[in-house]
Amino acid sequence: MATSVSFGQSPGKTNFVHVDVHPGGIALVTVAKEPVNSMDLAMWARLDQVLMELETNPAVNAVIFASGLKRDVFSAGNDLMELYAPKTTSERYARFWTTQNAFLVRLYRSRLVTIAAIRGACPAGGCAISLCSDVRLITPEGVMGLNEVQLGIPVPKFWGLLMGRVIGPKVAESVLLSGRMVPAAEAKQLGLVDSVVPADRLIEDALVAARQACKAPSAARAATKALLREEFCKAWEGFYPTEHEYGWKYLSSPSTIAVLEGAMKRLSSKAAPKQEVASKL
């Protein structure tokens, strides 16, 4: 039987990160920030807190990230209000940028077995979380990708390089330069995900994958993971603290502001189709 713990609660705010620890030390982290799990500064900080606490718990061996939303969305990516220059500041953006990348590096080098259980749309920041995970499962209607180019924003350097490590530099470059979202079947073919599974089996299959991975001696597995990833992680850590300066140049440009305004108008329209979540964030 799983035991439950809640994270991410603060005065006046709804609790949106929930942890169930299943037998074998497998933590299921469910994120349910309606309507689309938009990733703001608070979300990234809380996910980092949760991961740190799980990593320091010797009884925890694996972590699964999943969506608890009503609709089929893993995460719609970064909250556009964190990127829309007229409503934020360069200082705020710097904190936002360093916080999210600190979490992503921590996830990529984690000693834990890490799994992304992707239900539905998974663009941008959601895709970055998935790329940093050891195993990725997606539902048949799911789509994923780093689609920043479609918003007039360069793909973050190490996010793009990470996709190249997963599916190969040439294929990744083609996907990244177009900013397109990759459907589930193609994602499996490219190696962007490991399996396509029905939504009603997603969590159980993720638990099975976690149990299978945990059969390997944990110390040896973690050490091998570190050998394969540590050089990349150190380079990433050396780069992202100043990357926000480059990003802010684009975010504060009139052309990018105009594109983001258009995206926000589409998403705020009641007539906007659900697929907008996948194609525009």
Instruction: Write the DSSP symbol of residue 147.
Output: -
> So what's the pLDDT on residue 161?
98
For residue 135, what are the domain limits? Answer: 3-280
Q: What's the domain count of the chain?
A: 1
> So what's the pLDDT on residue 266?
80
- From first to last of its 281 residues, the chain has per-residue pLDDT tens of 656 554 444 433 447 899 999 999 999 999 999 999 999 999 999 999 999 999 999 999 999 999 999 999 999 999 999 999 999 999 999 999 999 999 999 999 999 999 999 999 999 999 999 999 999 999 999 999 999 998 888 999 999 999 999 999 999 999 999 999 999 999 999 999 999 999 999 999 999 999 999 999 999 999 999 999 999 999 999 999 999 999 999 899 998 899 888 888 887 764 444 444 443 44
> So what's the pLDDT on residue 263?
82
- Which tokens belong to 3? 């035991």
CATH number (domain holding residue 29): 3.90.226.10
Closest CA to 256 of 115, 151, 179: 151
CA 69, 71, 72, 77 torsion-angle sign: negative
Q: Please tell me the pTM assigned to this model.
A: 0.90
- Alpha helices (H) in 63-168, listed in sequence order: 90-109, 124-131, 157-167
